[in-house]
Amino acid sequence: MEPLKGLILSGGAGTRLRPITHTSAKQLVPVANKPVLFYGIEALVDAGVTEIGIIIAPETGDEIREAAGDGTQFGAQITYIVQDKPAGLAHAVLTAEEFIGGSPFVMYLGDNLLRDGIRDMVSTFAKDDPDALILLTPVDDPESYGVAELDGEGGIVQLIEKPKDPPSNLALVGVYLFSQLIFDAARRLEPSWRGELEITEAIQTLIDDGRSVQSEVVRGWWKDTGQLADMLEANRLVLEEIEPRLDGDTGDSRVEGRVVVEEGAVVTGSVVRGPAIVGRNARISDAYIGPYTSIGDEVEISGSEIEHSIVLSGSVVEDLGTRMEASLLGRNVKLTRSEGLPKTLRLLVGDNSIIEMQ
C-alpha cells in the first residue's frame, strides 16, 4: 500500500459559532489556547501521516494559511486546496483528487477533536486494507448526524444522513479512511436535498457495490466543536489532562490544581483554580479564574470572576463585579460594567467588540 496522505477539511462558513466566526475561521477558535485545527494536524502526524492537504474556503483560507503555514511547525508538509463553495464533503474529496494522486488517504474534519487520536484506526486500515474505514460514536441525538445501521457482526448495512427515524445511535465521526475507489463513487452522486454531494452517500455507493467498508467505534471522547456548548466542553476535556506549568509570574496569587501560566504572564492578588490556562503576556489582577477556563495571550482581567469560559487573545475584562461563566469572548473584546448586573453572565461575543454593561 502506498503511504497514506492526509486531507483536512477546513472550509465552511461556521454559521453555528457566530458572531465569533464573522471574523475568523471556526477551525482557528482555540481550545486550551490552541486552534482546533492544530489538534487535527497533530493527530495525523502522530499517526505517521505527514503529507497533508487542507481544504480551505476563499473567505477564510488566508487566515488558515497564515496560522498553519507550510506545516514545518508540525513536522508535516501542507498543501492548500481551495474549495470554491461549500458543496459537501464528497465534493471536497473530488476537489482534492489531484493532490491525493494514487494514494489512499485519511480525511479529517478540521473542527473535530478526538482524545485518543487516529493511530489505531490508521494501523487497522493498513492491516485490513478495506476500501473505506469509518469511525462511529454513540450519540444522544443521532437525527443530527450521519448514522450507521449495522448487522449482527458489526458490518455496515447502510448509512443515513440526518435520519428522522435513526436505525441506531452510532453517528459517523469526522474521520474517514479511503482507497482510490471513493473518487469514482463521489463522481456518481447527485446533489442531496441540501444541494451537496454527501460523503455518506459516496460510502453507501461503495457498500452497494459490494466493496469492503469497515467501522470502528471511537475510544475516548470525540467532539465536533461547531457550537458554543461543544467548544466549552472540548475546552473542559482538554484542560482535564494538562500538565501543570508555571512559567509566568504568579507572585502573591493562589494557584490551585492543574494550571498552566505561560511565559510573560503576570498574575497578582488573584486566585487561579485549575484546570486552567493563562496565555503569554496576560495580566490578571484581583480576579478569580475558575476551573475549565482558557485565558488567551495578552488578555487583561481585573476585578472579575470567570470560570468555564474561553477568552481569546487581546481581550480586556474590567471590574465586572459579577461572575462570567460558560462564555466565549472573541479577540480584542472589551467588557466593562457599571451597575445592576445579574449574578451570572453568559456571553458569546465576537471579535473587536466593546461592551459596557449598564
Q: Give pLDDT, residue 106.
A: 97
pLDDT digits 0-9 by tens, 336-349: 875 555 556 666 66
Torsion angle of the four alpha carbons 125, 130, 135, 138, in this order, in degrees rounded to the nearest 10: -130
Q: Give pLDDT, residue 268.
A: 97
Return the number of other C-beta atoms located less than 10 Å from residue 335's C-beta: 24
Quote the cell numbers at residue 234.
472540548
User: What is the mean predicted confidence (pLDDT) over 41-52?
Assistant: 96
Q: How confident is the model at residue 21 (pLDDT cuts 50, 70, 90)?
A: very low
24 versus 328: which is more confidently predicted? Answer: 328
Residues facing residue 278 across a β-bridge: 261, 295
The residue type at 264 = G
Is it the case that residue 48 has pLDDT exceeding 80?
yes
User: What is the mean predicted confidence (pLDDT) over 22-48?
Assistant: 88
pLDDT digits 0-9 by tens, 227-267: 788 889 999 999 999 999 999 999 999 999 999 999 999 99
Quote the cell numbers at residue 350.
465576537
Residue (of 107, 67, 61) closest to 84 by Cα position: 61
Quote the cell numbers at residue 13.
462558513
pLDDT digits 0-9 by tens, 126-164: 999 999 999 998 988 899 888 998 887 667 888 888 889
- Please say whether the beta carbons of 259 and 275 come within 8 A: yes
Q: How confident is the model at residue 22 (pLDDT cuts 50, 70, 90)?
A: very low
Q: Give pLDDT, residue 218.
A: 85
pLDDT digits 0-9 by tens, 272-298: 999 999 999 999 999 999 999 999 999
Is it the case that residue 15 has pLDDT exceeding 60?
no
Q: How confident is the model at residue 96 (pLDDT cuts 50, 70, 90)?
A: very high
Q: Give pLDDT, residue 321.
A: 76
Q: Give pLDDT, residue 186.
A: 93
Is it the case that residue 11 has pLDDT exceeding 80?
no
pLDDT digits 0-9 by tens, 197-236: 889 899 999 999 999 999 988 877 888 777 788 889 999 9
Residue (of 204, 115, 110, 219) closest to 157 by Cα position: 204
